[in-house]
Structure 1
Protein backbone atom coordinates (compact mmCIF):
# COMPACT_ATOMS: atom_id res chain seq x y z
CA UNK A 1 0.00 0.00 0.00
CA UNK A 2 1.05 3.63 -0.47
CA UNK A 3 -0.13 7.10 0.56
CA UNK A 4 -1.97 9.58 -1.68
CA UNK A 5 -4.17 12.63 -1.14
CA UNK A 6 -7.65 11.98 -2.55
CA UNK A 7 -11.09 13.57 -2.53
CA UNK A 8 -14.53 12.21 -3.41
CA UNK A 9 -16.56 15.45 -3.49
CA UNK A 10 -15.82 19.02 -4.47
CA UNK A 11 -15.19 21.53 -1.73
CA UNK A 12 -12.56 23.24 0.41
CA UNK A 13 -9.54 21.75 2.16
CA UNK A 14 -11.82 19.63 4.33
CA UNK A 15 -12.60 17.30 1.40
CA UNK A 16 -8.94 16.24 1.07
CA UNK A 17 -7.94 12.99 2.75
CA UNK A 18 -4.64 11.15 3.04
CA UNK A 19 -5.55 7.64 1.93
CA UNK A 20 -3.83 4.27 1.82
CA UNK A 21 -4.18 3.04 -1.78
CA UNK A 22 -2.79 0.02 -3.66
CA UNK A 23 0.83 0.65 -4.58
CA UNK A 24 1.02 1.59 -8.30
CA UNK A 25 3.70 0.24 -10.64
CA UNK A 26 5.30 1.56 -13.79
CA UNK A 27 3.69 0.70 -17.13
CA UNK A 28 5.85 -1.08 -19.72
CA UNK A 29 6.52 2.29 -21.41
CA UNK A 30 6.66 4.34 -18.23
CA UNK A 31 8.48 5.09 -15.01
CA UNK A 32 7.48 5.35 -11.38
CA UNK A 33 8.69 8.30 -9.32
CA UNK A 34 9.00 8.09 -5.55
CA UNK A 35 7.84 11.60 -4.66
CA UNK A 36 9.82 13.60 -2.12
CA UNK A 37 8.18 17.02 -2.48
CA UNK A 38 5.15 18.52 -4.22
CA UNK A 39 4.71 22.26 -4.69
CA UNK A 40 1.18 23.67 -4.47
CA UNK A 41 -0.40 26.04 -6.99
CA UNK A 42 -3.64 28.05 -6.78
CA UNK A 43 -5.06 25.90 -9.58
CA UNK A 44 -4.75 22.82 -7.34
CA UNK A 45 -7.27 23.95 -4.76
CA UNK A 46 -9.37 25.74 -7.37
CA UNK A 47 -9.84 22.40 -9.14
CA UNK A 48 -11.10 20.84 -5.90
CA UNK A 49 -13.72 23.58 -5.48
CA UNK A 50 -14.83 24.12 -9.10
CA UNK A 51 -16.28 21.14 -11.00
CA UNK A 52 -16.18 23.04 -14.31
CA UNK A 53 -12.47 23.74 -13.90
CA UNK A 54 -11.82 20.11 -12.97
CA UNK A 55 -13.62 19.06 -16.14
CA UNK A 56 -11.37 21.31 -18.25
CA UNK A 57 -8.40 19.29 -17.00
CA UNK A 58 -10.16 15.97 -17.50
CA UNK A 59 -10.44 15.33 -13.75
CA UNK A 60 -13.41 13.34 -12.46
CA UNK A 61 -14.30 12.14 -8.97
CA UNK A 62 -12.86 10.43 -7.06
CA UNK A 63 -9.62 12.26 -7.80
CA UNK A 64 -6.07 12.83 -6.67
CA UNK A 65 -4.61 16.21 -5.81
CA UNK A 66 -1.74 18.47 -6.86
CA UNK A 67 0.25 19.15 -10.03
CA UNK A 68 3.99 19.58 -9.39
CA UNK A 69 6.37 17.02 -7.89
CA UNK A 70 10.02 16.04 -7.48
CA UNK A 71 11.63 12.81 -6.41
CA UNK A 72 13.56 9.77 -7.62
CA UNK A 73 12.76 7.23 -10.34
CA UNK A 74 12.46 3.87 -8.61
CA UNK A 75 10.85 1.72 -11.33
CA UNK A 76 11.40 1.70 -15.10
CA UNK A 77 9.28 -0.27 -17.55
CA UNK A 78 11.08 -2.43 -20.14
CA UNK A 79 9.97 -0.14 -22.99
CA UNK A 80 10.61 3.18 -21.18
CA UNK A 81 13.20 5.60 -22.54
CA UNK A 82 15.20 8.52 -21.20
CA UNK A 83 15.24 7.63 -17.50
CA UNK A 84 16.89 5.08 -15.23
CA UNK A 85 16.34 3.87 -11.68
CA UNK A 86 17.97 6.34 -9.32
CA UNK A 87 17.51 9.42 -11.54
CA UNK A 88 16.42 12.52 -9.64
CA UNK A 89 13.51 14.08 -11.54
CA UNK A 90 10.78 16.70 -11.33
CA UNK A 91 7.62 17.13 -13.33
CA UNK A 92 3.92 17.85 -13.63
CA UNK A 93 1.08 15.39 -13.06
CA UNK A 94 -2.14 17.36 -12.81
CA UNK A 95 -4.55 15.88 -10.32
CA UNK A 96 -2.15 13.32 -8.83
CA UNK A 97 1.19 14.75 -7.65
CA UNK A 98 0.60 14.72 -3.88
CA UNK A 99 1.16 11.01 -3.52
CA UNK A 100 3.92 8.67 -2.48
CA UNK A 101 4.30 7.51 -6.10
CA UNK A 102 3.57 9.15 -9.47
CA UNK A 103 3.51 7.22 -12.75
CA UNK A 104 4.73 8.89 -15.96
CA UNK A 105 4.74 7.52 -19.51
CA UNK A 106 7.82 7.97 -21.70
CA UNK A 107 8.99 9.68 -23.76
CA UNK A 108 7.81 12.37 -21.34
CA UNK A 109 7.21 16.03 -22.19
CA UNK A 110 6.45 16.83 -18.55
CA UNK A 111 9.26 15.04 -16.69
CA UNK A 112 12.78 16.43 -16.44
CA UNK A 113 16.07 15.45 -14.79
CA UNK A 114 16.74 17.53 -11.68
CA UNK A 115 20.02 19.46 -12.01
CA UNK A 116 22.61 18.64 -9.36
CA UNK A 117 22.45 21.23 -6.60
CA UNK A 118 18.69 21.89 -6.78
CA UNK A 119 16.83 20.47 -3.78
CA UNK A 120 13.64 18.46 -4.26
CA UNK A 121 11.68 21.10 -2.34
CA UNK A 122 12.72 23.68 -4.97
CA UNK A 123 12.42 21.41 -8.03
CA UNK A 124 8.94 20.39 -6.89
CA UNK A 125 7.71 23.99 -7.25
CA UNK A 126 8.90 24.61 -10.80
CA UNK A 127 6.76 23.09 -13.58
CA UNK A 128 3.32 24.74 -13.49
CA UNK A 129 4.23 28.10 -11.96
CA UNK A 130 7.47 28.75 -13.82
CA UNK A 131 6.16 27.63 -17.22
CA UNK A 132 3.03 29.77 -16.75
CA UNK A 133 5.31 32.72 -15.95
CA UNK A 134 7.48 31.98 -18.98
CA UNK A 135 4.39 32.09 -21.20
CA UNK A 136 3.20 35.41 -19.80
CA UNK A 137 4.92 38.63 -21.08
CA UNK A 138 5.30 44.88 -17.72
CA UNK A 139 2.84 45.30 -15.23
CA UNK A 140 2.46 42.04 -13.31
CA UNK A 141 -0.70 41.50 -11.29
CA UNK A 142 -0.29 39.22 -8.28
CA UNK A 143 3.48 39.59 -8.38
CA UNK A 144 4.15 38.07 -4.94
CA UNK A 145 2.27 34.84 -5.64
CA UNK A 146 3.54 31.44 -6.70
CA UNK A 147 3.57 32.33 -10.42
CA UNK A 148 4.43 35.98 -9.83
CA UNK A 149 7.79 35.26 -8.23
CA UNK A 150 8.87 33.56 -11.45
CA UNK A 151 7.24 36.12 -13.76
CA UNK A 152 9.05 39.00 -12.04
CA UNK A 153 12.45 37.36 -12.23
CA UNK A 154 12.03 36.14 -15.81
CA UNK A 155 10.97 39.60 -16.96
CA UNK A 156 13.90 41.22 -15.13
CA UNK A 157 16.25 38.64 -16.62
CA UNK A 158 14.98 39.65 -20.08
CA UNK A 159 15.82 43.28 -19.33
CA UNK A 160 12.33 44.57 -18.53
CA UNK A 161 11.40 47.11 -15.90
CA UNK A 162 8.79 45.35 -13.75
CA UNK A 163 5.94 46.92 -11.80
CA UNK A 164 4.20 44.37 -9.59
CA UNK A 165 0.83 44.70 -7.89
CA UNK A 166 0.60 43.35 -4.36
CA UNK A 167 -0.42 44.22 -0.81
CA UNK A 168 1.84 46.66 1.00
CA UNK A 169 3.04 43.94 3.35
CA UNK A 170 4.83 42.26 0.43
CA UNK A 171 6.59 45.37 -0.91
CA UNK A 172 10.01 44.65 0.60
CA UNK A 173 9.76 41.04 -0.60
CA UNK A 174 9.05 42.20 -4.17
CA UNK A 175 11.85 44.75 -4.12
CA UNK A 176 14.17 41.90 -3.21
CA UNK A 177 13.11 40.15 -6.43
CA UNK A 178 13.77 43.29 -8.48
CA UNK A 179 10.20 44.55 -8.93
CA UNK A 180 8.81 48.00 -8.21
CA UNK A 181 5.76 47.30 -6.04
CA UNK A 182 2.44 49.08 -6.47
CA UNK A 183 -0.62 48.54 -4.27
CA UNK A 184 -3.58 46.87 -5.93
CA UNK A 185 -7.12 48.18 -5.52
CA UNK A 186 -9.03 51.33 -6.56
CA UNK A 187 -6.79 53.94 -8.15
CA UNK A 188 -4.29 51.42 -9.54
CA UNK A 189 -4.10 53.16 -12.92
CA UNK A 190 -3.13 56.46 -11.28
CA UNK A 191 -0.46 54.79 -9.16
CA UNK A 192 1.00 53.07 -12.21
CA UNK A 193 1.06 56.41 -14.08
CA UNK A 194 2.94 57.97 -11.18
CA UNK A 195 5.55 55.22 -11.24
CA UNK A 196 5.82 55.04 -15.02
CA UNK A 197 4.69 58.34 -16.59
CA UNK A 198 6.19 57.17 -19.88
CA UNK A 199 3.66 54.32 -19.92
CA UNK A 200 3.84 50.52 -19.81
CA UNK A 201 4.20 48.26 -22.81
CA UNK A 202 2.78 44.93 -21.58
CA UNK A 203 0.97 43.29 -18.68
CA UNK A 204 0.46 39.85 -17.21
CA UNK A 205 -2.38 39.37 -14.75
CA UNK A 206 -1.75 36.34 -12.56
CA UNK A 207 -4.60 36.91 -10.12
CA UNK A 208 -8.03 38.22 -11.10
CA UNK A 209 -8.39 40.78 -13.89
CA UNK A 210 -7.52 44.14 -12.26
CA UNK A 211 -4.05 44.46 -13.78
CA UNK A 212 -5.32 43.52 -17.25
CA UNK A 213 -8.14 46.08 -17.09
CA UNK A 214 -5.71 48.71 -15.80
CA UNK A 215 -3.30 48.04 -18.66
CA UNK A 216 -6.14 48.53 -21.15
CA UNK A 217 -7.01 51.86 -19.50
CA UNK A 218 -3.38 52.90 -19.87
CA UNK A 219 -3.43 52.22 -23.59
CA UNK A 220 -1.67 48.85 -23.77
CA UNK A 221 -2.80 46.88 -26.83
CA UNK A 222 -4.94 43.86 -25.85
CA UNK A 223 -2.56 41.47 -27.62
CA UNK A 224 0.20 42.67 -25.26
CA UNK A 225 -1.82 41.63 -22.20
CA UNK A 226 -2.19 38.10 -20.85
CA UNK A 227 -4.20 36.52 -18.04
CA UNK A 228 -3.89 33.06 -16.52
CA UNK A 229 -6.23 30.56 -18.12
CA UNK A 230 -7.74 29.31 -14.86
CA UNK A 231 -9.34 32.64 -13.88
CA UNK A 232 -12.44 34.59 -14.95
CA UNK A 233 -13.02 35.45 -18.60
CA UNK A 234 -10.52 38.10 -19.79
CA UNK A 235 -11.47 41.49 -21.25
CA UNK A 236 -12.10 41.42 -25.02
CA UNK A 237 -8.94 40.88 -27.03
CA UNK A 238 -6.82 39.85 -24.04
CA UNK A 239 -5.32 36.40 -24.36
CA UNK A 240 -5.44 33.58 -21.86
CA UNK A 241 -2.22 31.77 -21.20
CA UNK A 242 -0.83 28.94 -19.10
CA UNK A 243 2.02 26.49 -18.77
CA UNK A 244 1.18 24.77 -22.07
CA UNK A 245 1.88 28.06 -23.90
CA UNK A 246 5.53 28.19 -22.82
CA UNK A 247 8.11 27.92 -25.58
CA UNK A 248 9.95 24.62 -26.03
CA UNK A 249 13.02 24.46 -23.80
CA UNK A 250 11.61 26.95 -21.26
CA UNK A 251 11.70 24.47 -18.38
CA UNK A 252 15.33 23.58 -19.00
CA UNK A 253 16.32 27.26 -19.22
CA UNK A 254 14.48 28.07 -16.00
CA UNK A 255 16.05 25.13 -14.17
CA UNK A 256 19.49 26.25 -15.34
CA UNK A 257 18.76 29.77 -14.08
CA UNK A 258 17.67 28.40 -10.70
CA UNK A 259 20.79 26.25 -10.55
CA UNK A 260 23.06 29.21 -11.34
CA UNK A 261 21.32 31.45 -8.82
CA UNK A 262 19.93 33.86 -11.43
CA UNK A 263 16.42 32.92 -10.30
CA UNK A 264 15.58 32.24 -6.68
CA UNK A 265 12.61 30.19 -5.48
CA UNK A 266 11.35 31.48 -2.13
CA UNK A 267 9.76 28.65 -0.13
CA UNK A 268 7.18 30.21 2.16
CA UNK A 269 6.44 27.03 4.12
CA UNK A 270 6.69 23.25 3.98
CA UNK A 271 4.14 20.84 5.41
CA UNK A 272 4.21 17.04 5.77
CA UNK A 273 1.47 15.38 3.75
CA UNK A 274 -0.52 14.60 6.91
CA UNK A 275 -1.04 18.38 7.32
CA UNK A 276 -2.56 18.77 3.85
CA UNK A 277 -5.57 20.75 5.14
CA UNK A 278 -3.34 23.34 6.78
CA UNK A 279 -1.13 23.58 3.69
CA UNK A 280 -4.01 24.12 1.28
CA UNK A 281 -5.69 26.63 3.61
CA UNK A 282 -2.44 28.59 3.79
CA UNK A 283 -2.11 28.50 -0.01
CA UNK A 284 -5.72 29.56 -0.57
CA UNK A 285 -5.43 32.58 1.73
CA UNK A 286 -2.90 34.02 -0.78
CA UNK A 287 -0.95 35.88 1.92
CA UNK A 288 2.22 33.81 1.58
CA UNK A 289 5.38 35.16 0.01
CA UNK A 290 6.55 32.32 -2.20
CA UNK A 291 5.68 28.66 -2.62
CA UNK A 292 3.97 26.14 -0.35
CA UNK A 293 5.53 22.66 -0.50
CA UNK A 294 4.21 19.29 0.65
CA UNK A 295 6.84 16.74 1.75
CA UNK A 296 6.27 13.00 1.54
Structure 2
Protein backbone atom coordinates (compact mmCIF):
# COMPACT_ATOMS: atom_id res chain seq x y z
CA UNK A 1 0.00 0.00 0.00
CA UNK A 2 0.99 3.64 -0.38
CA UNK A 3 1.86 5.38 2.87
CA UNK A 4 3.84 8.17 4.49
CA UNK A 5 6.58 7.03 6.86
CA UNK A 6 9.74 8.16 8.61
CA UNK A 7 12.75 6.10 9.67
CA UNK A 8 14.37 8.66 11.96
CA UNK A 9 13.34 11.66 14.01
CA UNK A 10 13.52 15.05 12.37
CA UNK A 11 11.66 17.77 10.50
CA UNK A 12 9.06 17.34 7.75
CA UNK A 13 11.85 16.38 5.36
CA UNK A 14 12.13 12.92 6.99
CA UNK A 15 8.63 12.02 5.78
CA UNK A 16 8.73 9.72 2.77
CA UNK A 17 5.92 8.69 0.41
CA UNK A 18 6.13 5.13 -0.90
CA UNK A 19 5.18 1.49 -0.50
CA UNK A 20 4.68 -0.08 2.92
CA UNK A 21 3.37 -3.56 3.79
CA UNK A 22 -0.39 -3.75 4.30
CA UNK A 23 -1.07 -4.11 8.04
CA UNK A 24 -2.01 -7.41 9.65
CA UNK A 25 -5.52 -7.46 11.10
CA UNK A 26 -5.63 -8.81 14.65
CA UNK A 27 -8.67 -10.54 16.21
CA UNK A 28 -9.90 -7.33 17.89
CA UNK A 29 -9.17 -4.98 14.98
CA UNK A 30 -10.64 -4.11 11.60
CA UNK A 31 -8.88 -3.15 8.40
CA UNK A 32 -9.98 0.36 7.43
CA UNK A 33 -9.56 1.69 3.92
CA UNK A 34 -8.56 5.27 4.66
CA UNK A 35 -10.38 8.18 3.06
CA UNK A 36 -8.96 10.99 5.22
CA UNK A 37 -6.59 11.49 8.16
CA UNK A 38 -6.44 14.72 10.15
CA UNK A 39 -3.17 16.37 11.13
CA UNK A 40 -2.59 17.17 14.80
CA UNK A 41 0.28 18.89 16.65
CA UNK A 42 1.10 15.60 18.34
CA UNK A 43 1.97 14.16 14.91
CA UNK A 44 4.96 16.45 14.39
CA UNK A 45 5.91 16.22 18.05
CA UNK A 46 6.13 12.43 17.65
CA UNK A 47 8.07 12.87 14.40
CA UNK A 48 10.62 15.08 16.18
CA UNK A 49 11.00 12.65 19.08
CA UNK A 50 9.33 14.69 21.81
CA UNK A 51 7.27 11.69 22.95
CA UNK A 52 10.24 9.32 22.98
CA UNK A 53 9.99 8.93 26.75
CA UNK A 54 6.26 8.25 26.60
CA UNK A 55 5.75 5.90 23.65
CA UNK A 56 8.09 3.25 22.28
CA UNK A 57 8.99 3.89 18.65
CA UNK A 58 9.27 1.08 16.10
CA UNK A 59 10.81 2.46 12.90
CA UNK A 60 9.70 2.99 10.24
CA UNK A 61 6.76 4.92 11.64
CA UNK A 62 3.59 5.73 9.73
CA UNK A 63 2.32 8.92 11.41
CA UNK A 64 -1.26 9.91 12.16
CA UNK A 65 -3.86 8.94 14.77
CA UNK A 66 -7.09 10.36 13.28
CA UNK A 67 -8.93 8.54 10.52
CA UNK A 68 -12.16 8.28 8.60
CA UNK A 69 -12.78 5.49 6.14
CA UNK A 70 -14.55 2.24 5.38
CA UNK A 71 -14.20 -1.20 6.98
CA UNK A 72 -12.94 -3.76 4.46
CA UNK A 73 -12.05 -6.63 6.81
CA UNK A 74 -13.19 -7.32 10.39
CA UNK A 75 -10.95 -9.27 12.73
CA UNK A 76 -11.93 -12.76 13.83
CA UNK A 77 -13.38 -11.59 17.19
CA UNK A 78 -15.10 -8.44 15.89
CA UNK A 79 -18.90 -8.20 15.94
CA UNK A 80 -19.21 -4.40 16.18
CA UNK A 81 -18.48 -3.65 12.50
CA UNK A 82 -18.95 -5.33 9.14
CA UNK A 83 -17.57 -4.78 5.65
CA UNK A 84 -18.73 -1.48 4.22
CA UNK A 85 -19.31 0.32 7.53
CA UNK A 86 -18.15 3.94 7.51
CA UNK A 87 -16.07 4.63 10.61
CA UNK A 88 -13.98 7.25 12.37
CA UNK A 89 -11.23 6.60 14.87
CA UNK A 90 -8.57 7.92 17.19
CA UNK A 91 -6.25 5.05 16.34
CA UNK A 92 -3.59 5.38 19.01
CA UNK A 93 -1.72 2.41 20.37
CA UNK A 94 0.90 2.48 23.14
CA UNK A 95 3.74 2.58 20.64
CA UNK A 96 4.48 4.48 17.44
CA UNK A 97 4.55 2.53 14.20
CA UNK A 98 1.19 1.87 12.54
CA UNK A 99 -0.51 5.19 11.86
CA UNK A 100 -3.25 6.49 9.60
CA UNK A 101 -1.32 8.34 6.87
CA UNK A 102 -1.73 5.35 4.58
CA UNK A 103 -4.16 3.63 2.26
CA UNK A 104 -5.04 1.15 5.01
CA UNK A 105 -4.85 1.02 8.80
CA UNK A 106 -5.56 -1.87 11.17
CA UNK A 107 -7.64 -0.17 13.86
CA UNK A 108 -8.54 -1.74 17.23
CA UNK A 109 -12.32 -1.60 17.68
CA UNK A 110 -11.81 0.20 21.01
CA UNK A 111 -10.64 3.22 18.98
CA UNK A 112 -13.55 3.38 16.52
CA UNK A 113 -17.10 4.66 16.13
CA UNK A 114 -19.49 5.01 13.24
CA UNK A 115 -18.91 8.04 11.03
CA UNK A 116 -21.45 10.88 11.38
CA UNK A 117 -23.65 10.60 8.31
CA UNK A 118 -23.88 14.36 7.83
CA UNK A 119 -20.12 14.97 7.75
CA UNK A 120 -17.81 14.50 4.80
CA UNK A 121 -14.91 12.11 5.22
CA UNK A 122 -12.61 15.13 5.54
CA UNK A 123 -14.73 16.72 8.27
CA UNK A 124 -15.21 13.40 10.05
CA UNK A 125 -11.45 12.79 10.15
CA UNK A 126 -11.08 15.99 12.15
CA UNK A 127 -13.44 14.90 14.91
CA UNK A 128 -11.82 12.01 16.87
CA UNK A 129 -8.67 13.33 18.60
CA UNK A 130 -9.81 16.93 18.98
CA UNK A 131 -13.37 16.00 19.88
CA UNK A 132 -12.31 13.41 22.43
CA UNK A 133 -9.84 15.85 23.95
CA UNK A 134 -12.47 18.55 24.32
CA UNK A 135 -15.11 16.13 25.61
CA UNK A 136 -12.92 14.32 28.11
CA UNK A 137 -11.51 17.57 29.49
CA UNK A 138 -14.78 19.50 29.73
CA UNK A 139 -17.03 16.65 30.86
CA UNK A 140 -14.79 14.24 32.75
CA UNK A 141 -12.09 16.48 34.20
CA UNK A 142 -13.50 20.01 34.48
CA UNK A 143 -17.05 18.67 34.96
CA UNK A 144 -18.52 21.79 33.40
CA UNK A 145 -22.08 22.57 34.50
CA UNK A 146 -24.88 24.62 33.02
CA UNK A 147 -24.54 28.31 33.83
CA UNK A 148 -20.79 28.22 34.48
CA UNK A 149 -18.24 30.39 32.69
CA UNK A 150 -15.48 28.52 30.87
CA UNK A 151 -12.27 29.96 29.41
CA UNK A 152 -11.01 28.09 26.32
CA UNK A 153 -7.63 28.96 24.83
CA UNK A 154 -6.90 28.82 21.09
CA UNK A 155 -10.65 28.76 20.54
CA UNK A 156 -10.37 28.80 16.73
CA UNK A 157 -8.04 25.80 16.59
CA UNK A 158 -8.86 22.12 16.27
CA UNK A 159 -9.40 21.32 19.96
CA UNK A 160 -10.54 24.81 20.91
CA UNK A 161 -13.25 25.10 18.26
CA UNK A 162 -14.82 21.84 19.42
CA UNK A 163 -14.43 22.80 23.08
CA UNK A 164 -16.35 26.02 22.46
CA UNK A 165 -19.20 24.09 20.85
CA UNK A 166 -19.25 21.42 23.55
CA UNK A 167 -19.18 24.04 26.28
CA UNK A 168 -22.20 25.76 24.77
CA UNK A 169 -23.95 22.40 24.38
CA UNK A 170 -23.38 21.81 28.10
CA UNK A 171 -25.09 25.13 28.83
CA UNK A 172 -21.96 27.05 29.81
CA UNK A 173 -20.87 30.53 28.84
CA UNK A 174 -17.64 30.20 26.86
CA UNK A 175 -14.94 32.85 26.57
CA UNK A 176 -12.41 31.93 23.89
CA UNK A 177 -8.98 33.39 23.17
CA UNK A 178 -8.20 33.92 19.50
CA UNK A 179 -6.53 36.30 17.09
CA UNK A 180 -8.71 39.18 15.96
CA UNK A 181 -8.96 37.58 12.50
CA UNK A 182 -10.76 34.62 14.10
CA UNK A 183 -13.16 36.52 16.36
CA UNK A 184 -16.13 36.18 14.02
CA UNK A 185 -15.43 32.44 13.70
CA UNK A 186 -15.43 32.04 17.50
CA UNK A 187 -18.71 33.97 17.69
CA UNK A 188 -20.23 31.64 15.08
CA UNK A 189 -19.29 28.71 17.32
CA UNK A 190 -21.11 30.34 20.24
CA UNK A 191 -18.12 31.77 22.12
CA UNK A 192 -17.18 35.26 23.28
CA UNK A 193 -13.78 36.04 21.75
CA UNK A 194 -10.91 37.84 23.45
CA UNK A 195 -7.57 38.66 21.83
CA UNK A 196 -4.30 36.94 22.70
CA UNK A 197 -1.26 38.78 23.99
CA UNK A 198 -0.48 41.50 26.50
CA UNK A 199 -3.47 42.51 28.54
CA UNK A 200 -5.27 39.18 28.09
CA UNK A 201 -5.97 38.82 31.82
CA UNK A 202 -7.56 42.27 31.98
CA UNK A 203 -9.69 41.56 28.93
CA UNK A 204 -10.97 38.31 30.40
CA UNK A 205 -11.67 39.97 33.75
CA UNK A 206 -13.64 42.58 31.88
CA UNK A 207 -15.98 39.81 30.74
CA UNK A 208 -15.85 37.76 33.96
CA UNK A 209 -15.03 40.10 36.88
CA UNK A 210 -15.46 37.35 39.49
CA UNK A 211 -13.26 34.91 37.61
CA UNK A 212 -14.00 31.88 35.45
CA UNK A 213 -15.34 28.61 36.83
CA UNK A 214 -13.17 26.48 34.56
CA UNK A 215 -10.20 27.05 32.26
CA UNK A 216 -9.02 24.81 29.42
CA UNK A 217 -5.37 25.50 28.56
CA UNK A 218 -4.23 24.25 25.16
CA UNK A 219 -1.07 26.38 24.91
CA UNK A 220 1.04 26.02 28.06
CA UNK A 221 3.76 28.22 29.50
CA UNK A 222 2.64 31.71 30.50
CA UNK A 223 -0.90 30.89 29.39
CA UNK A 224 -1.12 28.22 32.10
CA UNK A 225 -0.14 30.74 34.79
CA UNK A 226 -2.53 33.36 33.44
CA UNK A 227 -5.36 30.83 33.41
CA UNK A 228 -4.73 29.92 37.05
CA UNK A 229 -4.86 33.58 38.03
CA UNK A 230 -8.20 34.04 36.27
CA UNK A 231 -10.00 31.29 38.19
CA UNK A 232 -12.82 32.00 40.58
CA UNK A 233 -12.20 30.79 44.18
CA UNK A 234 -13.49 27.28 43.41
CA UNK A 235 -12.37 27.31 39.78
CA UNK A 236 -10.80 24.33 37.99
CA UNK A 237 -7.93 24.25 35.50
CA UNK A 238 -6.87 21.55 33.04
CA UNK A 239 -3.98 21.76 30.58
CA UNK A 240 -3.20 19.46 27.66
CA UNK A 241 0.00 21.38 26.91
CA UNK A 242 1.84 21.90 30.20
CA UNK A 243 2.48 19.19 32.83
CA UNK A 244 3.56 21.95 35.22
CA UNK A 245 -0.09 22.94 35.53
CA UNK A 246 -0.09 20.86 38.71
CA UNK A 247 2.05 23.57 40.31
CA UNK A 248 -0.97 25.87 40.00
CA UNK A 249 -3.42 23.35 41.42
CA UNK A 250 -4.59 22.15 38.02
CA UNK A 251 -4.57 18.84 36.18
CA UNK A 252 -2.58 17.69 33.16
CA UNK A 253 -4.45 15.50 30.70
CA UNK A 254 -3.57 13.30 27.71
CA UNK A 255 -6.54 12.18 25.63
CA UNK A 256 -7.32 8.46 25.44
CA UNK A 257 -9.23 6.41 22.85
CA UNK A 258 -12.76 5.67 24.00
CA UNK A 259 -15.33 4.14 21.65
CA UNK A 260 -18.30 5.20 23.79
CA UNK A 261 -17.14 8.82 23.99
CA UNK A 262 -16.45 8.87 20.25
CA UNK A 263 -19.88 7.43 19.50
CA UNK A 264 -21.45 10.19 21.60
CA UNK A 265 -19.50 12.82 19.64
CA UNK A 266 -20.64 11.27 16.37
CA UNK A 267 -24.24 11.49 17.58
CA UNK A 268 -23.79 15.14 18.59
CA UNK A 269 -22.44 15.88 15.12
CA UNK A 270 -25.47 14.23 13.52
CA UNK A 271 -27.74 16.30 15.77
CA UNK A 272 -26.04 19.47 14.57
CA UNK A 273 -24.49 20.29 17.95
CA UNK A 274 -20.93 19.89 16.63
CA UNK A 275 -19.31 20.90 13.36
CA UNK A 276 -15.75 20.48 12.12
CA UNK A 277 -14.14 23.26 10.10
CA UNK A 278 -11.55 22.02 7.59
CA UNK A 279 -9.31 24.87 6.49
CA UNK A 280 -7.22 22.93 3.96
CA UNK A 281 -6.76 19.44 2.54
CA UNK A 282 -3.60 17.80 1.19
CA UNK A 283 -3.24 14.62 -0.90
CA UNK A 284 -1.36 11.83 0.87
CA UNK A 285 1.83 12.43 -1.09
CA UNK A 286 1.92 16.03 0.26
CA UNK A 287 1.65 15.04 3.92
CA UNK A 288 4.97 16.78 4.64
CA UNK A 289 3.38 20.08 3.56
CA UNK A 290 0.47 19.39 5.90
CA UNK A 291 2.92 18.83 8.75
CA UNK A 292 4.68 22.10 7.95
CA UNK A 293 1.42 24.02 7.92
CA UNK A 294 0.30 22.48 11.20
CA UNK A 295 3.64 23.19 12.85
CA UNK A 296 3.41 26.87 11.88
CA UNK A 297 0.28 27.07 14.05
CA UNK A 298 -2.70 29.43 13.98
CA UNK A 299 -4.75 27.10 11.78
CA UNK A 300 -8.49 27.70 11.88
CA UNK A 301 -10.07 24.32 12.55
CA UNK A 302 -8.33 21.35 10.95
CA UNK A 303 -5.82 20.37 8.27
CA UNK A 304 -6.61 17.03 6.64
CA UNK A 305 -4.71 14.56 4.46
CA UNK A 306 -6.86 12.75 1.89
CA UNK A 307 -6.44 9.36 0.24
CA UNK A 308 -7.95 8.80 -3.20
CA UNK A 309 -9.43 5.44 -4.18
CA UNK A 310 -12.00 4.03 -6.54
CA UNK A 311 -15.38 3.01 -5.14
CA UNK A 312 -14.94 -0.30 -6.96
CA UNK A 313 -11.80 -0.82 -4.88
CA UNK A 314 -13.97 -1.94 -1.97
- TM-score w.r.t. structure 1 length? 0.91
- The 8 Å contact of residues 48 and 54 in structure 1, kept in 2 or not, is answered as no
SS of 1:176's equivalent in the other structure is: helix
In the alignment, which residue of structure 1 is the partner of 2:103? Answer: 100
5 Å-filtered alignment, 1:130-209, equals 130-137=131-138, 138-209=150-221
Name the CA distance, whole Å, in 1 between partners of 2:227 and 2:4: 40
1:12 equivalent to 2:24? Answer no
CA distance in 2, matches of 1:244, 1:269: 26
Where in structure 2 are the equivalents of 1:135-284 lying within 5 Å? Answer: 135-137=136-138, 138-220=150-232, 224-228=236-240, 230-231=241-242, 233-236=244-247, 237-244=249-256, 249-284=260-295
**Contact 2:124 2:276 (C-alpha < 8 Å) held by counterparts:** no
- The verdict on how the C-alpha distance between 1:76 and 1:218 changes in structure 2, with shifts beyond 3 A counting, is closer
The 3 A distance-change label for structure 1 pair 46 and 265 is same
After TM superposition, list the pairs within 5 Å mapping 1:21-60 onto structure 2: 21-49=20-48, 51-60=49-58
Alpha-carbon shift at residue 21 of structure 1 (Å): 1.2
Q: Distance in 1 between matches of 2:22 and 2:230?
A: 55
Mapped to 1, the partners of 2:62 and 2:74 lie a distance apart of 22
Structure 1 residues 175 and 48: alpha-carbon distance in aligned structure 2, compared to 1, 3 A threshold:
same
- The residue that corresponds to 2:298 in the other structure is 287
Question: Are positions 1:121 and 2:122 aligned together?
Answer: yes
Distance 1:158 1:294, change over 3 A: same
Classify the secondary structure of the residue corresponding to 1:181.
strand
In the TM superposition, residue 180 of structure 1 has moved relative to its aligned partner by: 1.0
Output the CA distance in 1 between the equivalents of 2:157 and 2:8. 27
Structure 1 residue 233: deviation in Å? 2.9
In 1, Cα distance between equivalents of 2:4 and 2:242: 24
Bigger Cα displacement from structure 2, 215-224 vs 200-209: 215-224
Moved over 6 A (4+): none
CA distance in 1 between counterparts of 2:232 and 2:238 reads 11
> How much has 1:52 moved relative to structure 2?
4.1
CA contact (8 A) 1:143 1:206 kept: no
C-alpha distance 263-219 of structure 1, shift in aligned 2 (>3 A): closer
Aligned length, in residue pairs? 290
Q: In structure 1, what is the Cα distance between the partners aligned to 2:231 and 2:127?
A: 33
Q: Is there any run of 5+ residues in structure 1 with no aligned partner, and where?
A: none
Q: Output the CA distance in 2 between the equivalents of 1:245 and 1:14.
A: 29
TM score, norm. by length of structure 2: 0.86
1:84 aligned onto 2:82: yes
